[in-house]
Amino acid sequence: MGASPLKFSRSLRWLSPVVALVVGCFDDAALKAPTSDLGAVDVPSAADGGDAAIDARGDASLDAADATVDVGDDLGDATLDADASDGGPACALDRVLVTTTNFMSGGYALGRFSPTPSLVPSTVDAPDQDHVPVQSGCVVYNLQRANDVLAVLDPMNLPTVARRIPLRMGSDASAPYQSNPYDVLTVSPSKAYVAQYAVPRVAIVDPSRDGAAALLGSIDLAPVRAMADMDPSGSPEPIAFARVGRRVFLGLQNLNSFAPSINSALAVIDPERDVLIDADPATDGTSPVQLTGRNLLAMEATRGGRLVVAEAGVITTTTPQRLDGLVELVDPATLRASGALVTEMELGGDIGGMVMVDESRAWVVVTQVPASSSSSRVVEVNLDAAAGARIIRTIMSTGSIAALARDPSGNVWVLDRTMGAAGARVFNPMGMELTSTPLSTGSLPPFGIAFVP
């Protein structure tokens, strides 16, 4: 897991990824909104191991020039459509890859999502106990967070690693979490962006290369770091990508010494020039998109080009909970946030994840303290409903949810880490469970999920 007194707000470490999977290849006509690990967030956990290294930052040797462009100069598509394809004939997705961990050892399970959901635990051990799969642009990755490695997997022999891209830049080669890769977005067959939670730079890599030769450069995030974020890491805690049209959005938690004392934001990147876009040219400097809430947890671009963001606020593990989180929309054309559409007060607990089922319906993970056998729920909300009528129903209740994601057929997979009942549960878009019992992931509980070729 992480490595220093982890930011209490970083929502439960096992909630990763929590941004839905909207998959596709890299052509501009069908651009991708990735998984996120969604975006995962951290909280102290005895199972996670020591946290002293998460603020050990690597050398800034790969920094690119601090170049930015204004919104007015951004040649974005007129209809900022998000990709909703299944990858097309060159990238037919028909399997599911689940990573597992108890934060001492890691593993995998592999199966099918259609016509009948299935999983078979793998006999292969993971090289990192803190690892998350991502499918982006027809490339299958495994984010090895403690090892500071972006692994490119062989889709013909999953979960075998085909290429290994090292991201660690520090002088202490043995210290974990020096870069802490949190998400990856494939821009083209020879270029991908890596969100590095522990350093203030987006790594630019070539996923078709192996080793250090795959490191192409970086994008400096210092210009969009909040002034109130004064922790020594220098990092604005980037956790998740989404792509809408010809703009890439990167969620920034903006935690100040592990506390969500300031609002989160979205850095906007021009992927053609690998530079930041100034979201507010009327003000000095390079501005990100300012969000309404704190501690961004999940972000997803829908098929119709809507950008939905969930912010968890302060995460507490003792009563009373501080319910200050919310879900809001960001207009990808004007780069302005809508303000709260659904709040944690309405949901009755802390936001712990989100997936969009369609253009208006979101399924939100809601957690409550004290923990119990039913302290985690998946709640359906309608973001287009009138105020006061947004909460539709509870889809399921359980003890602990690691992640949820929508597969290419439209069904939603919920990774249940409840002791004695751990596994993957699958629901159709109407909320009917398709699994009579959780699909087993073997001796280790599930942690991350991706839908792969």
Residues 312-363 have pLDDT tens digits of: 999 888 788 889 999 999 999 999 999 999 999 999 999 999 999 999 999 9
pLDDT digits (tens, 9 = 90+) for 423-448: 999 999 999 999 999 999 999 999 99
Q: What is the mean pLDDT of the chain?
A: 83
Which pTM does this prediction carry?
0.84
Q: Edge-to-edge strands of the sheet including 361-367? A: 350-356, 361-367, 376-382, 391-398
State the sign of the Cα–Cα–Cα–Cα dihedral 439, 149, 3, 291.
negative
Binned at pLDDT 50, 70 and 90, residue 385 comes out as: confident
| Separation of alpha carbons 136 and 121, rounded Å | 23
pLDDT at 229: 85
DSSP string, 57-86: PPP-TTPPP--EEEGGG----SS-PPP---
**Residue 75 CB neighbour total at 10 angstroms:** 11
| Separation of alpha carbons 114 and 409, rounded Å | 7
DSSP state of 345: H
Binned at pLDDT 50, 70 and 90, residue 90 comes out as: low
Q: Edge-to-edge strands of the sheet including 120-121? A: 120-121, 106-112, 95-101, 446-452
Binned at pLDDT 50, 70 and 90, residue 91 comes out as: confident
pLDDT at 57: 30
Binned at pLDDT 50, 70 and 90, residue 171 comes out as: low
Query: Is the predicted pLDDT of residue 56 greater than 90, yes or no?
Result: no
Q: 46-52+94-452 maps to which CATH number? A: 2.130.10.10
In the chain, % of residues over pLDDT 70: 80
When pLDDT is averaged across residues 381-389 and rounded to a whole number, the result is 86
pLDDT at 86: 34
In the chain, % of residues over pLDDT 90: 71
pLDDT at 45: 31
DSSP string, 205-235: E-TTS-GGGGEEEEEE-GGGS-TT---TT--
